[in-house]
């Protein structure tokens, strides 16, 4: 029996901005954002979407009734909680009609949370082969308006169904991890926006990648030649590129691995940072866009959550992997987005529900996503499934 990712799906907001427009509005050379940082567009999240609706909108694309009846664990990886106590996974379970005979909870460790969820899910299914676990990475990356981090915002969700005999990626092998108490990126309880020392964070990320990659090689005896590609947590695409270059620079595998890396950034550079979902969007981007991957190929995954936790692990492509299906599924979401002007984006930025206490109703007519946040009454969030209304 093998265990791993059987299904994977992505969702983001219907709105985006061009980073070249943002650069002009901030008095910056657009090439700094486009080339220096490596981001072309970023998703802008309207008030009718939060981490719960983004997650449910991703997962609903792949779940069958049989999955809903079999899933016995729903794990939400997020650092954009919708409540200081209650897990978003409970709402997601209900919205998706997943059986109540399940555990539903949330994991937070900056951008690493979903990887902890994936590892827990793999161990659970290994012990209980008939189980299925839904792991969803969902976040809204928010820095301050007019700050250096603004160009690295974004948001969205990647949902993964972990099961035995998976169709897409076989997991469960050796993993290497490293954690250390550092202050590179954090969000104090009184803030909605992250505080970040971006240059320091990049240095730590590269250091953690090198440490975990070394550990992994020592434990497995594998080396660059055993890998078809590496995918990275990508707050911005240049960050992963720097990490990859740090280990391949003098290797005969450099050209091949850097070429594959480009496929893994194609979606991230037009969506922006998903925090804990970024690594899994990179994986999806590689799987959907590379034409060099074959069944059995090994892919390395580097997960990083500031604060900080790093983990390197790998998976092998399973026999059911179908590139075109994944590509169509992601591009359906990305081709129907609406471009916003910078003033429109700034206006949406100020409507975030967590900024104001009190009752609020949102206009759900403009957002055609299936699951929507309709508002909050008496401190209770109100989610709707618009397909029920539209019949």
Write out the catalytic residue numbers: 79, 111, 233
> Among 91-99, 234-242, 245-253, 295-303, which window interacts with ligand COA (CB under 6 A)?
234-242
**Helix (H) and strand (E) counts for the chain?**
14, 18
Q: What is the DSSP string of 235-288?
A: SSHHHHHHHHHHHHTTSTTHHHHHHHHHHHHTTHHHHB--GGGHHHHHHHHHHH
Report if residue 31 touches ligand COA, rule: CB under 6 A: yes
> Among 24-32, 112-120, 174-182, 328-336, which window interacts with ligand COA (CB under 6 A)?
24-32
Report if residue 236 touches ligand COA, rule: CB under 6 A: yes
Assign 169 to helix, strand or coil: strand
Report if residue 198 touches ligand COA, rule: CB under 6 A: yes
Site for ligand COA in 258-317 (CB under 6 A): 304, 306
Report if residue 201 touches ligand COA, rule: CB under 6 A: yes
Q: Are 382 and 376 in contact (CB under 8 A)?
A: yes
Q: Are 327 and 9 in contact (CB under 8 A)?
A: no
Residue closer to ligand COA, measured from CB, 89 or 206? 206
What mask, x for binding ligand COA by CB under 6 A, covers residues 95 to 134?
A: ----------------x-----------------------
Strands 371-377 and 380-385: antiparallel
- Least distance (Å) from ligand COA to the CB of residue 151? 5
- Least distance (Å) from ligand COA to the CB of residue 108? 14
Q: What is the DSSP string of 84-114?
A: SSS-HHHHHHHHHT--SSSEEEEE-BTBTHH
Cis ω before 380 (30° cut-off from 0): no
The residues binding ligand COA (CB under 6 A) are 29, 31-32, 35-37, 111, 148-149, 151-152, 185, 196, 198-199, 201, 205, 235-236, 238, 304, 306
């Amino acid at each position: 029996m093998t265990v791993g990712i059987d299904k994977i799906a992505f969702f983001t907001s219907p709105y985006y901005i061009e980073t070249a427009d943002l650069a002009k509005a901030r008095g910056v050379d657009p090439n700094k954002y486009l080339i220096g940082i490596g981001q072309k567009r970023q998703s802008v999240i309207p008030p009718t979407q939060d981490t719960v609706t983004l997650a449910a909108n991703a997962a609903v694309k792949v779940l069958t009734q049989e999955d809903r009846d079999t899933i016995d664990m729903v794990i939400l990886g997020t650092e954009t909680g919708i409540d200081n106590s209650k897990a978003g996974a409970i709402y997601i379970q209900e919205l998706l009609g997943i059986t109540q005979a399940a555990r539903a909870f949330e994991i937070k460790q900056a951008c690493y949370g979903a990887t902890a969820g994936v590892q827990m899910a793999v161990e659970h299914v290994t012990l209980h082969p008939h189980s299925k676990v839904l792991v969803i990475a969902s976040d809204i990356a928010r820095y301050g308006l007019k700050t250096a981090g603004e160009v690295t915002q974004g948001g969205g969700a990647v949902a993964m169904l972990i099961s035995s005999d998976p169709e897409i990626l076989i997991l469960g092998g050796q993993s290497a991890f490293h954690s250390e108490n550092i202050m590179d990126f954090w969000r104090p309880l009184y803030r909605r926006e992250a505080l970040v020392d971006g240059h320091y964070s990049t240095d730590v990320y590269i250091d953690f990648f090198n440490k975990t990659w070394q550990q992994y090689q020592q434990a497995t005896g594998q080396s660059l030649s055993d890998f078809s590609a590496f995918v990275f947590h990508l707050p911005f695409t240049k960050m992963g590129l720097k990490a990859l270059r740090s280990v391949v620079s003098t290797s005969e595998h450099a050209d091949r691995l850097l070429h594959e890396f480009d496929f893994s950034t194609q979606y991230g550079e037009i969506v922006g940072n998903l925090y804990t979902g970024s690594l899994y969007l990179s994986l999806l981007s590689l799987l959907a866009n590379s034409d060099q991957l074959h069944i059995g190929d090994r892919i390395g995954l580097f997960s990083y959550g500031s604060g900080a936790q790093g983990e390197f692990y790998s998976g092998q492509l399973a026999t059911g992997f179908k590139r075109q299906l994944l590509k169509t599924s992601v591009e359906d979401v990305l081709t129907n987005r609406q471009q916003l002007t910078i003033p429109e984006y700034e206006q949406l930025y100020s409507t975030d529900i967590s900024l104001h206490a009190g009752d609020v109703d949102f206009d759900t007519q403009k957002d055609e996503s299936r699951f929507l946040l309709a508002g909050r009454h008496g401190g209770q969030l109100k989610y709707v499934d618009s397909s029920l209304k539209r019949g």
